[in-house]
Amino acid sequence: MRSGKILVAQGGGPTAVINQSLAGVVLEARRHEGVTRVYGARHGVRGIVDEQFVDLTQETSHNLELVAGTPASALGSTRDKPDLAYCREIFKVLQAHEIEHFFYIGGNDSADTVRIVSEEAAAAGYPLRAIHIPKTIDNDLVGNDHTPGFPSAARFVALAFAGANLDNAALPGVYVGVVMGRHAGFLTAASALGKKFPDDGPHLIYLPERTFVIDDFLADVKAAYERHGRCVVAVSEGIHDASGQPIAAQLAKDLERDAHGNVQLSGTGALADLLCEEIKTKLKIKRVRGDTFGYLQRSFVGCVSDVDAREAREVGEKAVQYAMWGDRDGSVAIRRTGFYSADFTLQPLGAVAGKTRVMEDEFIAPSGTDVTDAFRLYLRPLLGSGMPDAHRLRVNPVPRVLRP
């Protein structure tokens, strides 16, 4: 006799479409005969060990649809990374509530949590189906063509750089935009999709897949500035030197950034400010501006790729179908089948858990500061429909009168 109880939770950094996956799980689960209750845990694994559950069976379909269209984890999230002991606590709670299907929407750390819980259940002979549902704006899950959340964040980054390029063309100077993504450059590389005309920015793109050398950076900026009279630069927050040390830490060495000598690498504008300072002092360029896109790129309301929204919904739906009919644990993955079309598979949890995908070499130009056409073809369909476009006045010069 099965209990028919399902538990779903959300972990890690929120995305614009993570609630689509939640709605996908809940709405699909409620279609299955034998499912008696769909619980949601508040704040991910933290809410499981604290037994903070809400009954999503009592939620209306209409409100679930509205929540699906709202960014950031509706159940709340957590940064907890459970170890074995923590996972045993999780398993204990699942047992106590007679939960037989566990769905965790998150990145590679969340996949690892699902893997350990799955193994604990198997060892105890407890009938649990545990499925990991992919989610991360970093696009760094192995075995996936891309991950839900990334396309919408990429759309934000592409549109932000399209705008920054127009702004920079109107008031020329150097503009540095720092983008999230940790060790994976996909989101920073998305800046290239904001380009339309050959002289549009970003003129330079710095990815964590390549070693960052400050002198090369300055030489690149100088050359682009001399060529275009301006320069737009996209920089990943994860850029590092040959030894793997983050650039922000390296640049800040001599600067005594704060009263304690600390350097923060995220949630601050430090890296953009340090790079701007280098450009100003070393290249003697006056108008240098730096923006750190920060939390806007993952939670801005109203910037969603419709392709991303649909797929995020589908991975939630497929997770329930795999659990109900597949009778095996795993991680849902997106596979590309056409231009553009996607399908879903279930990979073993061990294949994705704790692993990090970075940008493939075929996506990075030989210069190391641009993307390839292969990347443009890869990303373009994911950005979704209705991408705004930038237009220019045509060139019709008027002859000078005073100084011909």
- Is 343 catalytic? The answer is no
**Shortest distance in whole angstroms from residue 402 CB to its own copies:** 5
Q: Looking at 45, 93, 307, 358, which residue binds its own copies (CB under 8 A)?
A: 93
Q: Does 398 bind its own copies (CB under 8 A)?
A: yes
- Count CB neighbours of 253 within 10 A: 11
Stretch that binds its own copies, among 90-98, 180-188, 324-332, 350-358 (CB under 8 A): 90-98
**Count of residues interacting with its own copies (CB under 8 A):** 93
Smaller CB separation from its own copies, 210 or 257 = 257
Residue 294, burial from CB neighbour count under 10 angstroms (0-12, 13-18, 19+): middle
274-303 residues near its own copies, rule: CB under 8 A: 276-277, 281, 288-296, 298-303
Query: Does residue 255 bind its own copies (CB under 8 A)?
Result: yes
Between 145 and 167, whose beta carbon lies closer to its own copies? Answer: 167
Interface segment toward its own copies; rule CB under 8 A; list 72-80, 204-212, 328-336, 375-383: 72-80
Tokens of 305: 């790729």
Q: What are phi and psi of 283, to 5 degrees?
A: -100, -5
Instruction: Tell me the two tokens of residue 401.
Output: 């009168």
The backbone region for 350, taken as left when phi is positive above 0, alpha when psi lies in -120 to 50, beta otherwise, is alpha
And the tokens for 209?
């897949």
**Among residues 366 and 391, whose Cβ is nearest to its own copies?**
391
CA–CA dist 240, 209 (Å, integer): 9
Active-site option among 80, 112, 138, 200: 138
Give the containing element (helix H, strand E) for 130: strand 129-134
- Residue 85 interacts with its own copies (CB under 8 A): yes or no: no
Identity of the residue, 244 or 388, whose beta carbon is nearer to its own copies in the bound complex: 388
**Binding-site member from 24, 76, 134, 208 for its own copies (CB under 8 A):** 76
Q: How many residues comprise the chain?
A: 404
Interior CA angle at 94 toward 71 and 35, to 5°? 70
Determine contact, residues 70/52, Cβ cutoff 8 Å: no
In the window 29-58, what residues touch its own copies (CB under 8 A)? 39-40, 43, 51, 53-56, 58
Rule CB under 8 A: say whether 113 interacts with its own copies.
Answer: no
Closest distance between its own copies and the C-beta of residue 392, in Å?
7
**Cβ 158 to its own copies shortest distance, Å:** 9
Residues 6+ apart with CB under 8 A from 17: 71, 148, 149, 152, 304, 308, 309, 312, 313
Active site residues: 138
